[in-house]
Amino acid sequence: MTVLARLVPTSVADERELVHFVASVTALCFALAIGADVTNQLVFFVDWPTALRSWAITSAIVIVVAIPISRMIGQAYLDLYRAKQASEENLATYRRVSEENLRLANLDALTQLPNRRRFIAEVDAWLSEAREAGRRLAVGLIDLDGFKPVNDVYGHPHGDQLLVLVSKRLQALCGADATLARLGGDEFGVIVPDVRNDAEVLEIGNSLVEALRQPFDLPGARVQIGGSMGFAVFPRAAQAAATLFERADYALYHAKQNQRGTVTLFSDENERTIREQSTVAQHLRAANFDDELSVVFQPIVDTRLGHVIGFEALARWVSPVLGEVRPDLFMPLAERHNMVSDLTLVLLRKTLAAAAGWPEHLRVSFNLSPYELASTASIARLLDTLKASDFPARRLDFEITETAVLSDLEKAKASIDPLKALGAHVSLDDFGCGYSSLAYVRRLPIDRIKIDRSFVAEIETDPTSQKIVRTIVDLCRNMELDCVAEGVETPAQLHILQATGCFKAQGYFFSKPMPAGEVAAFLVSHLSDDLEPRRHWSGARGRRPQGDGTPTALIA
């Protein structure tokens, strides 16, 4: 009974009921036996023969009833004990499996680092501790530069091994105090508690970025990549974990957009930019694209002949509230907030309508967002828009950037093929500013490469820029691709470009972008009556600028 009583408080409901039942039956049997024994004793003093018969009957009852009940009680207790033991074993197994599943759910299988889910939970936990202790907390995000070309050239197994090597190198530098995680793809996160000041944060970031610049040894290859990093520090950058993470992500984006391979610390200026972008995004959502969007056109010139061969269409937005908004501000916001597809269709319709009345020899270039190439539905809508227009597809060039094809080369090719099938051409824009890969040129059905303006801007003073331009021009010649230099602003730049063999260009030296209504007048001013080109720009070939740098032969 004592053992059963101890078992009751720890049993589940069904077990508890069984124990109560067995205890009750046992008590009844013992009461019966004791009652019969007392009766026997009383009767014995009165009539011992009767007492003897009563004792015999009582013994029989005990043998027939009490012993089986005792056995039943013993078996029931044994079964209950075994069931409880099995339940405890199952519970222990369940806990081990649950703990392992939780560990795996918070672990990156490739690098064995914490994953994004665990990282965000760690940011929240560390932030609570930092808030209570009055300490600073730094959250950093790292994005590898040049990882995708490694995958393209050497294959995904080598790419996976590179990620493992990167994780080990970063972890060795972070030490025990910091938390390193792989957030997905080639992005990593780091939490640095109790940082003293911004200088310490930048020192840590620079050490990590510098480590990523050192070569990595893979089977049969030595590769060199880089990394960009963004940091946000509590409490100045943000008070909440989610906001702190977003600020670090913005700092990383700023680093990649402005100067790859560096560390950016989220600043007050970044905060002002975010507020400005938030305001612009709100008005962009409410905008009437048909009424507020327009297209301007910048000429593309053949400098050997001195005539215009086409125009690039550039987007403009005039908000009734904000006024004219820069394209480099509203276009990324349209992409980020999933509005770029609708915006692109309006711009393409207006571009094709404006170009429909141009002379037959003129082409028009139209920029596609990376998001367009990633969406089959968007490409289908572009094709429908082109088919419904009066402008022939054979005179249209769709310009795509390296960024657009960087994430998924095969997806980009699948999106380009229908455009090519309709007769349109494809240009690879801003070539050379990213991690240019010959795989793009070899595997994509492109017709033209456009040299990024950053090389043209420094071509007069930077020998390396000149060599890069010459290399790209030679590549285009060998691959039988058209080549256009962007951002030409001075006669000296044009002269050097021509010396390298690049004779097609665009930029402010020739003309600023103009509204559609001014294109006809511009063409008339640069063509004679028989459509032969006047040599406004071709005179730069073979001569260097004199005097103020603007030869009279180059003045329209």
Return the HEC string of 233-296.
EECCCCCCHHHHHHHHHHHHHHHHHHCCCCEEECCHHHHHHHHHHHHHHHHHHCCCHHHHEEEE
Contact indicator for 526, 534 with CB cutoff of 8 Å: yes
One domain for residues 245 and 294:
no
> CA-CA distances (angstroms) from residue 76 to 3, 72, 84, 284, 509?
13, 6, 12, 75, 99
- Indicate the SS3 state at residue 378: helix
- Give strand ranges (E) for 303-369: 307-319, 323-325, 363-367
Domain-embedded: residue 410? yes
Domain extent at residue 255: 116-266
What are the residues whose beta carbons fall under 8 Å from the beta carbon of 37, sequence distance 6 or more? 58
pLDDT in tens, 283-328: 999 999 999 999 999 999 999 888 899 999 999 999 999 999 999 9
**Tell me, what's the pLDDT at 359?**
93
Q: What is the mean pLDDT of residues 222-247?
A: 93
Query: Which residue from 345, 348, 292 is spatially nearest to 316, judged by alpha carbons?
Result: 292
Whether residue 497 sits in one domain with residue 381 = yes
Residues 130, 228 within the same domain:
yes
Whether 155 and 63 map to the same domain: the answer is no
Is 142 inside a domain boundary?
yes
> How large is the average pLDDT for residues 211-239?
93
Same domain, yes or no, for 287 and 325?
Answer: yes
> CB neighbours (10 Å) of residue 256?
20
| Count of beta carbons in the 10 Å neighbourhood of residue 541 | 16
Q: Find, among 213, 215, 163, 167, the residue nearest to 190 by Cα.
A: 167
Structural domain includes residue 110: no
Question: Domain containing 205 — which CATH number?
Answer: 3.30.70.270
Contact residues for 475 (Cβ-Cβ < 8 A; gap 6+): 441, 449, 481
Q: Could you report how far apart the first and last alpha carbons of the chain are, in Å?
A: 114
Cα(4)–Cα(254) distance, integer angstroms: 71
d(Cα 229, Cα 489) in Å, to the nearest integer? 33
- SS3 sequence, 139-206? EEEEEEECHHHHHHHHCHHHHHHHHHHHHHHHHHHHCCCCEEEEEECCEEEEEEECCCCHHHHHHHHH
Give 329-360 pLDDT, tens digit per residue.
999 899 989 999 999 999 999 999 999 999 99
Q: What is the pLDDT of residue 439?
A: 65
Residues 100 and 144 in one domain: no
- The bridge status of strand 293-302 relative to strand 307-319 is antiparallel
In a domain, 271, yes or no: no
Residue 36 and residue 94 in one domain: yes
Q: Do the domain assignments include residue 183?
A: yes
**Amino acid identity for residue 300 in this structure:** I
Q: Is 448 helix (H, G, I), strand (E, B) or coil?
A: strand
DSSP secondary structure code for residue 389 in this structure: S
218 in a structural domain = yes
Residue 317 placed within a domain: yes
pLDDT digits (tens, 9 = 90+) for 21-62: 556 556 655 555 555 555 555 555 555 566 566 656 666 666
Mean pLDDT on 77-97: 71
Q: What average pLDDT does the chain have? A: 83
Percent of the chain with pLDDT over 90: 57
Alpha carbons 30 and 178: distance in angstroms, whole number: 69
Among 247, 266, 285, residue at a domain's last position: 266
Does residue 322 sit in the same domain as residue 432? yes
β 263-265/293-302 pair status: unpaired
Same domain, 186 and 66: no
Q: How far is CA 408 from each of CA 152, 232, 234, 245, 258, rounded to the nearest angstrom?
A: 10, 30, 36, 26, 23
Structural domains of the chain, count:
3
- What is the per-residue pLDDT for 6? 47
Rg of the chain taking only CA atoms, in angstroms: 40
Q: What share of the chain is helix, strand, coil (3-state, %, to 5)?
A: 60, 20, 25
pTM of the model: 0.68
Query: Among 238, 266, 294, where does a domain finish?
Result: 266
- Domain match, 400 and 379 both: yes
Query: What is the three-class DSSP state of 465?
Result: helix
- What are the φ/ψ torsions at residue 259 (nearest 5 degrees)? -160, 95
* CB under 8 A, 24+ apart: contacts of 287-291: 287/317, 287/319, 289/342, 289/343, 289/346, 290/346
Residue 489: inside a domain: yes
As a whole number of angstroms, the distance between CA 368 and CA 365 comes to 10
Residue type, 146: G
Amino acid identity for residue 287 in this structure: A
The pLDDT assigned to 26 comes to 60
Residue 367: name the closest of 444, 442, 295, 301 by CA: 295
Count CA within 13 A, CB hemisphere, residue 455. Answer: 24
Does pLDDT of 409 surpass 90?
no
Please check whether residues 245 and 308 belong to one and the same domain. no
Examine the fold and report which residue of 84, 105, 126 is the final residue of a domain before the chain moves on: 105
Phi first, then psi, for residue 282 (nearest 5°) are -60, -45
Q: Are strands 323-325 and 307-319 parallel, antiparallel or unpaired?
A: antiparallel
Residue pLDDT, tens place only, 101-140: 555 578 998 999 999 999 999 999 999 999 999 999 999 9
**From CA 509, how far away is CA 487, in angstroms rounded?**
8
Nearest by Cα to 200 from 136, 130, 262: 136
Instruction: In whole angstroms, give the CA distance from residue 17 to residue 252.
Output: 63
Residues with Cβ < 8 Å from 128, sequence gap 6 or more? none
CA-to-CA separations, 5 to 21, 22, 113, 300, 412, in angstroms, rounded: 12, 11, 50, 96, 74
pLDDT at 542 over 50: no
Are 413 and 443 spatial neighbours (Cβ–Cβ below 8 Å)?
yes
Summarize pLDDT for 355-366 with one digit per residue, the tens.
999 999 999 999
Q: Domain check: are 145 and 190 in the same one?
A: yes
Reported as a single tens digit per residue, the pLDDT across 511-540 is 999 999 999 999 888 753 333 444 455 544
User: Would you mind telling me the total number of residues written for the chain in this entry?
Assistant: 556
Angle at 213 between CA 209 and CA 216, to 5 degrees: 125
Domain of residue 287, CATH code: 3.20.20.450
- The residue with tokens 């965000």 is 120
Beta strand 221-223 pairing with 216-218: antiparallel
